[in-house]
Amino acid sequence: MLNVENLQKSFGPVPVLRGVDLALAAGETLALTGESGSGKSTLLHLIAGLDRFEGGAIRLDGTDLARLSDPGRAELRRTRVGLVFQQFNLIPSLSVGDNLAFQARLADRHDPDWQARLTERLGLAGLEARWPEQLSGGQQQRVAVGRTLAARPPLVLADEPTGNLDEDTGDAVLDLMLELVAETGAALLMVTHSDRLAARLDRRIHLSHGKVAA
């Protein structure tokens, strides 16, 4: 469902991605590791259509990202890609319930029954009226996972989703994310610094010197 071929990206004169290749099948989970500064977040941003690249190709279910207009890329982010960040990135002025519904509403896929099930499964029942700042880090990240999966994107991109959580809390969040990703049939590409967490996914690749290490 995702094909990245010979992807090249520089910031000014500095090449960051120097011919990255990767493929991800529908429903597959892939861990992306690499040194700090190796370009992991940059790669995720490009796949999410958040930035443009100079060479190579990214295809998502047959769509060539390089050919999309800005509105086309916005549409891709609304309906086909879900993002989970290390910093949770909840909307502080919206209640937990409205944060959970936010992405699904944007994607025109709001389904109250599915949201209620997600809320229950994520252990967030009874917290819907709170503000994000009134939740623990683990609870906030569970809201972020729920917000993404409520919209049922075919691809979830997660950038160190447990990086701000203690080990037990992070493990619990990852367990839930993997269960729910499998349940929705989404593919997952997850950046992590942890070999232990990377081993929980179907496959892993390592980014080094701007390429996927053999």
Min dist. Cβ of residue 44 to ligand ATP (A): 8
Min dist. Cβ of residue 103 to ligand ATP (A): 23
Min dist. Cβ of residue 6 to ligand ATP (A): 18
DSSP sequence for 54-93: SEEEEEETTEEGGG--HHHHHHHHHHTEEEE-TT----TT
User: Edge-to-edge strand order for the sheet containing 14-24?
Assistant: 14-24, 2-11, 55-60, 63-64
- The residue (of 151 and 197) whose beta carbon lies closer to ligand ATP is 197
Min dist. Cβ of residue 20 to ligand ATP (A): 11
Q: Hey, which residues does 64 pair with through a beta bridge?
A: 59
25 by DSSP, 3-state: which? Answer: coil
Q: Which residues lie near ligand ATP (CB under 6 A)?
A: 11, 16, 34, 36-42
- The residue (of 40 and 152) whose beta carbon lies closer to ligand ATP is 40
Min dist. Cβ of residue 2 to ligand ATP (A): 18
Which distant-in-sequence residues (6+ apart) come within 8 Å of 192 by Cβ?
31, 32, 33, 160, 162, 163, 198
- The residue (of 36 and 69) whose beta carbon lies closer to ligand ATP is 36
Give the whole-angstrom CA distance, residue 207 versus residue 22: 11
93: nearest Cα among 133, 123, 122 = 133
Cα dist from 11 to 17, 24, 30, 39, 75, whole Å:
10, 26, 26, 11, 25
- The residue (of 42 and 103) whose beta carbon lies closer to ligand ATP is 42
| Phi, psi for 195 (deg, rounded to 5) | -65, -35
- The residue (of 38 and 141) whose beta carbon lies closer to ligand ATP is 38
- The residue (of 149 and 157) whose beta carbon lies closer to ligand ATP is 157
Min dist. Cβ of residue 126 to ligand ATP (A): 35
Q: Hey, which residues does 195 pair with through a beta bridge?
A: none
